[in-house]
Amino acid sequence: MRNKIIWCLSIFLVCQVESLSAATVTDLSNPEHKGLRDFVTWMRSKKYEENIVSKFVQDYQDATPHPDDNWPGGVSTNYERIAAELLKRTKPGSKFSKPLVIRYLDLVPLDANTTALPVDPEVVKEKFKQTFGMNVSLFYTQEFMSYQAAFGIADYKKIENLGGKFFNVASLNDATIVKWIKTVAAPKFFAPLPGYHRDIVRIAIGQIDGLKVTNLGVLAFSSADAISSENIAYVGNELPVAAPSTEVFSQGYGFYAHSHEWAHAWWQSHHYATSVNMPSYGTFGTLSIACNKKSDKNIQPMIDPLQAYLMEPEGGFDYPELILGKAYSDNLKSIDPCEVPFTEDPHPNIVIEDAVYILKATKGSALSITVKNTGDIPLALVPITVKLQCGKIKKTVQLTVNWIPVGATQSLKIPSITEGRFTCEKPAANISIDTTLFKPVQMSSLQL
């Protein structure tokens, strides 16, 4: 009998999962979606364009399971992904702490067949400023060492790709390097600091036997993420570069591998789908790898709205004008592989089409309000204010349009005013949508 009960329960659970597979999260007014509502309020306060806002809300509502290599059970939904990220907003140590200190260790090779490729610390500082909108106190150190002796590297793999010959650092033993960082580098270079800080260890090999070293296709190496116990990001030999280029996108990630792995050290997850079967959610930044399903892998030179929201320090970013709002949209438009959500020049607009009183079978009536999206992008979490008055009785009701596609209409209902035993059948109503949230600026209102 027990086996039958378990079997029935398991069937029930499967049915529940299947019913969710085609579901959409629709009632964003529920308490469990407060994190999203707070995020949208923040994005609008930072002047992000509404197509960016709508994209995040659209993907948040998607509860369709997709294969996902980095999620328990190998399956996730966009809703689960974004909801999990939003919880990090209040996680201690998840936000940048001021002053922002980075200790940067370049491992410079002494091996006879190698050529060193150290970074320029001043360029690194500037790139972090441009990517994260923060001043950085960078403490740069070089450690001269034999990779052969320290890591036991017997040889390097020679590869041919993109018309050239390179050495692939895949033969570097990641486990050995991580152990060395934990046991040697951490005690020697990275003594604990007050507050929350993250550091970087970098492989500074430029050439081996006269051939360029590349991290092309070496996900285990360039995506080693953070060594969580020491909060140290482990990066490859990419150098800070001035701007995205064909070479950066095809043969390495330039400086953006630094910001990508360093952001992992701040407990940030990949803001992209790990399977080609799952669409990327939200928009694209330094923790995105697939800018869209059509492009090759690349990492973007910017911080996306979700990252910015999660990592925003007390008192705000030092240079918000470099990374937030319009600056983000402009940056997104400037990168060829990226697709701007919905349209590059959004004109959001919503109007009140009608409002009528509907008599109910029971006592009183209901006010039915019809709104229409007359803009060129879907809109999310649009606030509507209804001011009701019946004699001396006044009442203000706040409604929200959760999601409305282009050209669609929606009806919202509110009951009549009730005061004790008195019910006002048809109170005077002033209904307004503050579309100063959108462009062009205009007020949509209706009076009954």
Residue 147 phi, psi (nearest 5): -65, -35
Strands 205-208 and 66-67, by their bridges, are unpaired
Q: What is the dihedral of CA 36, 41, 47, 50, to 10 degrees?
A: 50
Predicted confidence band of residue 270 (pLDDT cuts 50, 70, 90): confident
Residue with tokens 């008055």: 389
C-alpha 141, offset from chain centre: 31
Pair of tokens at residue 378: 């879907």
Taking the CB of residue 90, how many other CB atoms lie within 10 A of it? 10
Three state DSSP letters for the chain: CHHHHHHHHHHHHHHHHHHHHCCECCCCCCHHHHHHHHHHHHHHHCCCCHHHHHHHHHHHCECCCEECCCCHHHEECHHHHHHHHHHHHHCCCCCCCCCEEEEEEEEEECCCCEEECCCCHHHHHHHHHHHHCCCEEEEEEEEEECHHHHHCCCCCEEEEECCEEEEEHHHCCHHHHHHHHHHHHHHHHCCCCCCCCCEEEEECEEEECCEEEECCCCHHHHCCCEECCCCEEEECCCCCCCCCCHHHHHHCCCCHHHHHHHHHHCCCCCCCCCCCCCCCCCCCCCCCCECCCCCCECCCCCCCHHHHHHHCCCCCCCCHHHHCCHHHHHHHHHCCCCCCCCCCCCCCCEEEEEEEEEECCCCCEEEEEEEEECCCCCEEEEEEEEEEEECCEEEEEEEEEEEECCCCEEEEEEECEEECCEEECCCEEEEEEEHHHCCCCCEEEEEC
Taking only the tens place, the pLDDT of each residue in 336-374 is 667 788 888 999 999 888 888 887 655 667 888 999 999
CA atoms of 157 and 177, how far apart (whole Å): 17
CA atoms of 161 and 7, how far apart (whole Å): 53
Higher pLDDT, 334 or 346: 346
Which residues, in sequence order, are CB contacts of 182 under 8 Å at separation 6+?
Answer: 227, 229, 230
C-alpha 196, offset from chain centre: 21
Lowest mean pLDDT among 114-118, 416-420, 428-432: 416-420
Residue 97 phi, psi (nearest 5): -115, 140
Pair of tokens at residue 218: 């070496």
Q: Mean pLDDT over residues 242-271, rounded?
A: 63
* Residue burial 307-328, b: 16+ Cβ < 10 Å; e: rest: bbbbbbbeeebbeeebbbbebb
Q: Mean pLDDT over residues 201-214, rounded?
A: 76
Taking only the tens place, the pLDDT of each residue in 9-24 is 222 222 222 233 345 6
Taking only the tens place, the pLDDT of each residue in 276-288 is 444 555 667 766 6
Bridge partner list, 385: 398, 432
Quick one: pLDDT at residue 441? 43
Task: Please say whether the dihedral angle defined by the alpha carbons of residues 61, 65, 69 and 70, taken in this order, is positive or negative.
Answer: positive
Tell me the percentage of the chain whose pLDDT exceeds 90: 23
End-to-end Cα distance, the chain: 64
Quick one: pLDDT at residue 22? 43
Cis amide linkage into residue 194, ω under 30° from 0 = no
CA atoms of 203 and 218, how far apart (whole Å): 14
Lowest mean pLDDT among 64-73, 234-243, 248-257, 314-323: 248-257
Lowest mean pLDDT among 86-100, 257-271, 388-402: 257-271
Predicted confidence band of residue 308 (pLDDT cuts 50, 70, 90): very high
Bridge partner list, 202: 106, 235
Up-side HSE of residue 297: CA atoms within 13 Å toward CB? 19
| Burial label, 247 (beta-carbon count in 10 A; 0-12, 13-18, 19+) | exposed
Predicted confidence band of residue 183 (pLDDT cuts 50, 70, 90): confident
CA atoms of 112 and 210, how far apart (whole Å): 11
Quick one: pLDDT at residue 15? 26
Structural domains of the chain ordered from first start: 100-334 (3.40.390), 350-447 (2.60.40.10)
Residue 231 phi, psi (nearest 5): 55, 45
Mean pLDDT of the chain: 75
Closest CA to 203 of 165, 176, 242, 230: 176
Of 100-104, 279-283, 294-298, which has the strongest mean pLDDT? 100-104
Pair of tokens at residue 16: 């529940």
CA atoms of 282 and 294, how far apart (whole Å): 16
pLDDT score of 420 more than 70: no
Pair of tokens at residue 128: 């972090």
Taking only the tens place, the pLDDT of each residue in 23-62 is 566 689 899 999 999 999 999 999 999 999 999 999 899 8
pLDDT score of 204 more than 80: yes
